[in-house]
Amino acid sequence: MQALKNDRYLRALLKQPVDMTPVWMMRQAGRYLPEYRAIRAEAGDFMSLCKNPELACEVTLQPLRRFELDAAILFSDILTIPDAMGLGLYFESGEGPKFERPLRTESAIKALSVPDPEDELGYVMDAVRTIRKNLTGQVPLIGFSGSPWTLATYMVEGGSTKSFNIIKKMAFSEPGTLHLLLDKLADSVTLYLNAQIAAGAQSVMIFDTWGGVLSPRDYQDFSLQYMHKIVDGLTRDNEGRRVPVTLFTKNGGMWLEAIAATGCDAVGLDWTINIEEARARVGDKVALQGNMDPSMLYAPPARIEEEVQQILAGFGQGSGHVFNLGHGIHPDVPPENAKVFVEAVHSYSRQYHET
């Protein structure tokens, strides 16, 4: 494997000195780029794109050609594991992901097998290997997975939901059944992420998109303890260097201390928490990733730059900050606004790092 030409993203996650604050964007390979939409049309549908390693590599690299990003993130989907478990994933136009066979019974959950990451999910590992080869050491590659709780919401509800009634009914009326599923998913995610690391991912991130819909006690019981189990089981060193782990719970600002206590290297922040407050609470234990409101990218360039400066000032001096949006970039954001954002982070952040 080639040496990294730009490792400031990995260094920042480990709170090591950097020359400027690194930046990447959640969903940076996506629909806001016309070149992505062209490849998506060529692939035919979203999962066909995910399952073609060469096309997945191409869309992973597309944003790096436009912007001076400090990391690439594997182009894939959080629902690859449930798909590999045989639930019949499909996408309804305008409605998002759905499953033909949602999990509603203990017997159905017991019948699930943990997918072999190099077999049923081999296309993901092939994509990781292809991307690493084509990055030629330009920037690090981030691997990722959904959290057990977030994956379970889709698997039990049968798709996207606003109320979470079905999975919460299971959580409160049959907690043992849900814990059986979450434990199986934690094992699956651990194997999946370790396989991504072995294939070449240099950092991994767990997306707990729906952890914030739980009460504090239920978040600990149904989400955080399973992410903690995954962190404990991950390969933390590969290719002669540390493999940093980032945990991100959307709307999880009230639980920063508990997330940081899992042993992760970094905690992702959405835009609903002040980064200065977050650093005061957990910044001595972990790095922080975030946290500009993705909708800020609709603003004029001067307003985007102002927001970047405010967040940088909020974090303050020193390393341990990876600049990102507080969630994924919106599909209708002008690419030129994303460019303003990335360039602003680099230009305004140098003053916060000793040379």
Tell me if residue 183 is catalytic. no
- Active-site pick, 7, 70, 77, 83: 77
Tell me if residue 32 is catalytic. no
- Active-site pick, 8, 27, 132, 279: 27
The binding site comprises 27-31, 77, 154, 209, 327
- Active-site pick, 19, 31, 123, 129: 31
The binding site for substrate comprises 27-31, 77, 154, 209, 327
- Active-site pick, 9, 32, 36, 40: 40
**How far is the CA of 178 from the CAs of 37, 168, 169, 172, in angstroms?**
38, 9, 10, 9
Tell me if residue 77 is catalytic. yes
Tell me if residue 9 is catalytic. no
- Active-site pick, 9, 154, 192, 226: 154
Tell me if residue 40 is catalytic. yes
Reported as half-sphere exposure (CB side, CA atoms, 13 A), residue 341 has a value of 28
Active site residues: 27, 31, 40, 77, 154
